[in-house]
Structures are given as C-alpha cells and as structure tokens.
Chain A
Amino acid sequence: MTDQQAQNKIKTEEYFINMGPQHPAAHGVLRLILTIDGEIIKNVEPDLGYIHRSIEKMCERDSYQQIVHLTDRMDYLSSHINNEAVCLTVEKGLEIEVSDRVKVIRTIIDELTRIASHCLWWGVMGMDLGALTSYFYAFRDREMINDIFEETCGARLTMNYNVPGGLMFDIHPNFVKRTKDFITHFKTKIPEYDRLLTGNVIFQKRTKGVGILTKEDAISFGVSGPTARASGFSSDVRKHHPYSAYDRVNFKEILFTEGDTFARYQVRMMELWESISIIEQLIDNIPEGETKAATKAVIKLPKGEFYQRVETARGELGVYINSTGNKNPYRVKFRSPGFSNLSVLNHISKDVLIGDLVATMASFDFVIPDIDR
C-alpha cells in the first residue's frame, strides 16, 4: 500500500465538545456546543439559560419605579443606558416631557458608560487573544469613570440613577470637573491603546479576515450595534431615532465595510473618540432646570403598548411595555442586542478554527445576562 492509499483510508469523525459554561473566553456562562472535525468547527449551537434570572417575569409583579433597578443587572456594562430605556418608555406612556437638564445629563452619563464598556471590552479582547497587558491598561482608566459614577450616582457599576420622570438626584458639584479631567487623561490613552494592540502584527493576523459577517447577513439576523456597523449596516439608534440630547450634538456614525473581527475592533476604538466628542459638546453647557418632573407616587400607565429603543454599548435595546392600566405592567419584553448578535455566530463560524471562534466572540462583546435576562 502506498502512502497515498493509506492516507485515503484514514477517516475522520466529527464529535462534539462543550465550550463553557465555565470557560474564560465565554465572558460569563455561555455554553457553546461545538461540533468539530479536528480543529475545524462544523457547527456551533449556543445553549442558553445558565444565567436566566426571569427578569421579564419579575417586571410584571413590580411597579414602574421598581423595574428600573432590575435592568441594571441585565447588561451591567451599560446599566445607565438600560435604566434610561425603561424610563423613556414610561415617560412616553405618561406623556411627560423631561427637562433639558435631565436630557443632557443622561446623555453625558450614557457616553461615559459607553466608554467604560468599550474599555472593558478592549481589555478583555486583548486578554482573550493572549495579551494580558491590555487588561491592566483598560481597567486603570475604567476606575476613573467608576469614581465619577460613584460620586454622582452612589454606585460604581449598577447605578440606578434614572427614575421615570428624570434623575434620582442632581449631579455632584465635582461632576463636571472630574469628567473634564477624565477626558483630558483619556485622550492621551487611546493612542497608547493603539500602539499597544491595534498595530500589533500578531493581533492583526489573528483578527483580519476572521469571522466575516456580510451586510446582508447582518440585516437578516437582526444584528445591531458596533457589530453591524462593522459590516456597513447603518443602524445607530442615536442617529436614526434620536432620544435624550442626541439630536443636538454632532457625531459621526462609524461605518466599516469589511465585516471581519478587525473591523469590529476598529469601530469600537473609533467610537471612543465619538463618545469623547459628544461629552465635550455637552459638558460645558448643562442647562439649568428641574432634575425630576412631577410624577405621582404610584405610576399607572394608560392602557396600551409602548416601545422605546436606545443604543447601548452592544447594540439596539428595545423595551416593550404592555399595560392594562394597572400600577404594574401586564407584560414587559426586552429586545436585547446580545441575543440577536449571538444568533449569527453559527452562521459565520462554519469551517473556522476554534481559536478564531474565540477571536470572533471577543469582538462581538457578549454580556451573557443580557442574552439570558
């Protein structure tokens, strides 16, 4: 038998392995059932529910003010934006117009949250690809944002600063100064991030041309956020359906057409600059005004359906409230960005290596409690 014949007789067999629920690259407790042939992935089947905390069901028993704190725990990296989504929906139902001051403060904190979230994503993406240094750099800067939040909102991570009708209390006197200090500091740090990771040859080889998501797929799977914008799908809710103070600021929607992991990386890195620019436009002219519109102690939404969408750090979050006119909602549904983004993972991970799947997942920036709720 010649070597060629012997090779032809070798048969490979597909088998499955679990990636997760306890896996350092799964960013939490996501379980992926991988069908693999050698190191080539044939199928990816996500198994959800390892952090399903029944938040939507709990919302049905709570009053409208109480729902807000639960949304902190969904996508905990953009907790302020989640709070805002619920508050905007309730305000829409009550037909309350919040003051300009509230709108501007909400927008500034939104963008600070986005920077904090992207910082963490950048650090963890480096860590997933074997560059641990980025983790320490990113968390150093994240701490500064956490300090600002702590001073104004009273909490570092789960802020719970919004209430239906406005803000829980006014900003801290130091808020403006500390935010400006942070911006000055952070502007010198993004080029440092770029020097450390973006230009790195190993990093580029791991990310360029990996996990390509086309624009058509992005649209048909309902992908949103930076992930969709890296494929050229213009989907920024802040731009297309402005809420709060986004209609009075100038910012670019970052669009790339490559759709690979490196493009998703670049979108997020450039969004950091856009967030800084939005904060700079607003921080010096926070208008005077009420921080909370008058609402009744027991909020009752009129009978009907209400929907509001916002742009979190991961994509489009939609809040649907179905009210029967009682003090608690009949049904609450969150359209979370992570869930739709995860659905496309199988489609783009066929016939790639396991290592590339880790890179792709890192660039999607999943937060598992956001997917499971």
Chain B
Amino acid sequence: MGVDKKRYLSQLEEEGLKQVVPADFPGKIIPGGNGGNIVVTTLDSVINWGRANSLWSLYFGTSCCAIEMMQTGAAKHDYSRFGFEVARASARQADLIIIAGTIVNKMGPVLRRLYDQMAEPKYVIAMGACAISGGPFYYNSYSVIKGADHVIPVDVYVPGCPPRPEALLEGMIMLQQKIKTENMAKKVNPIDGFDEGK
C-alpha cells in the first residue's frame, strides 16, 4: 500500500500543493484532476489506523506506577506524540485503561466496574509487576489480587517495578500494532467468556 507515495509527494511539490494526508496513512492516493484526489484503501485498515492513533486513556493510577505514567505524559517523554494525550477522568469517555499499580481485593470490583463502563472498543495495558502478577506482593500478602488479568482481560503487559517511561511507551506502541491487525468482521470482544475462563 502506498507504493506511489514518493512519486505522489514529488508531484505535489511540483504542483505546489501541501500534503494533506499523514505519511503513515494506510492506503494509496491517486492524484485526480481538478484539485481532487482519489483514495484507495480498505475499511479495516483505515478504521484501525484511526483507532490506534487516537487512544484516550483513563486516569487510573493506584500506586507507584502512576508516577511513572505521569512522567511518561510529561514534557520529556510525552506520549502525546503517539496520540495518547487526552486522558479522561470518566471511564465512559476512555478507550484504554493503563492499570498503573497494585489491584487489591477491595479495588477489584471497582476496576471491573470501570472496565464495564467503557465503550467498545476498549483496551487494557497492565503496567508494572503488581498489575501483571502481584509483583513484590505475590507472597505472604492476604489482600493483593495476583494479577489484574484475574479481573479484566489484558492486552499488553509492561514489566518493571515500576517500568521506565520508555518501557511504557514501548507497550503503548505494541498496543497500537495490535490494534492495526484487527479485523472488523471477526472482532471478538475480549470480555466474552472471560468469567468462564475461556
């Protein structure tokens, strides 16, 4: 896809026109006459492209990892470069939960409720050792859920205690790659059969 992009861009330069489509647009652009262009693409790839590049995350930090998540959003690392900049306080407006911190028994139902409140499509990143497996609280702790994937389905796991901002960015980019392979016709809701252990 987009084989003729170079030629298209040089042609645009010749005509003194600006590039109107981002460079990673999944499709072929055929310059048409009368100032209009024809775009050839598939619905799947263009929808996935849109979804992957505009993921709104939920403000969800329970402990230490939340600080590293905030650092990732701040000036130096700046996840808005990848389309994550809009953090929402309400689950109903969010596409993505970054589970930043330990989930304990009392928090488990709350996390599940937040997940259920989110509109489809929704994605989950488990950030840090606690969200993956209980981490340092795996042994001898009576109140920690040993991994957030006991409560909700998780898409990407980012290890670390806490992970560096670069690691979280890597996890976010991997999630984007995962979204780009989705097929609308065969889309499976990850929560279907989750409680039955499927």
A contact set with B: CB distance below 8 Å: 21-24, 28-29, 49-54, 57-58, 61-62, 69-70, 72-73, 76-77, 120, 135-136, 139-140, 142-143, 146, 156-158, 368-369
- Secondary structure of the B side of the interface? loop
CB of B104 within 8 A of chain A? Answer: yes
Q: Say yes or no: B161 contacts A53, CB within 8 Å.
A: no
CB of B48 within 8 A of chain A? Answer: no
- Chain B contact-residue range equals 35 or more
CB of B89 within 8 A of chain A? Answer: yes
Q: Say yes or no: B63 contacts A369, CB within 8 Å.
A: yes
Residue in B63, B71, B89, B141 whose beta carbon sits within 8 Å of that of A142 in the complex: B71
Q: Which residues in A have their C-beta under 8 angstroms from that of B95? A: none
Bits for B60-74, please: 1 = Cβ < 8 Å to A, else 0.
111110111011001
Q: Say yes or no: B89 contacts A156, CB within 8 Å.
A: no
Residue in B64, B66, B143 whose beta carbon sits within 8 Å of that of A54 in the complex: B143
Smallest distance from the beta carbon of B150 to chain A beta carbons, Å? Answer: 16
Closest 4 CB pairs of A and B: A139-B74, A76-B64, A24-B89, A140-B75
Smallest distance from the beta carbon of B19 to chain A beta carbons, Å? Answer: 30
Smallest distance from the beta carbon of A366 to chain B beta carbons, Å? Answer: 13
Residue in B61, B137, B139, B164 whose beta carbon sits within 8 Å of that of A53 in the complex: B137
Q: Say yes or no: A21 contacts B68, CB within 8 Å.
A: no
Complex: how many Å from CA A146 to CA B60? 22
Pick from A21, A51, A368, A369 the residue with the most CB of B within 10 Å. Answer: A51
Complex: how many Å from CA A52 to CA B141? 10
Smallest distance from the beta carbon of B178 to chain A beta carbons, Å? Answer: 25
User: B102-138: which residues lie under 8 A (CB-CB) from chain A?
Assistant: 102, 104, 106-107, 110, 114, 136-137
Complex: how many Å from CA A24 to CA B88? 9
Smallest distance from the beta carbon of A177 to chain B beta carbons, Å? Answer: 20
Complex: how many Å from CA A23 to CA B59? 8
CB of B187 within 8 A of chain A? Answer: no
Q: Say yes or no: A50 contacts B75, CB within 8 Å.
A: no
Q: Say yes or no: A157 contacts B162, CB within 8 Å.
A: yes
Q: Which residues in A have their C-beta under 8 angstroms from that of B141? A: 53-54, 57-58
Q: Which residues in A have their C-beta under 8 angstroms from that of B143? A: 52-54
Complex: how many Å from CA A28 to CA B64? 10
Residue in A22, A54, A72, A143 whose beta carbon sits within 8 Å of that of B110 in the complex: A22
Complex: how many Å from CA A69 to CA B129? 14
Smallest distance from the beta carbon of B195 to chain A beta carbons, Å? Answer: 21
Complex: how many Å from CA A369 to CA B104? 11
CB-defined A-B contacts under 8 Å, sample of 15: A22-B91, A23-B89, A28-B63, A51-B62, A51-B102, A52-B104, A53-B104, A53-B144, A57-B140, A120-B70, A136-B75, A139-B71, A139-B74, A156-B162, A369-B64
Complex: how many Å from CA A22 to CA B71? 20
Complex: how many Å from CA A24 to CA B137? 25
Complex: how many Å from CA A274 to CA B101? 32
CB of B18 within 8 A of chain A? Answer: no
Q: Say yes or no: B104 contacts A157, CB within 8 Å.
A: no
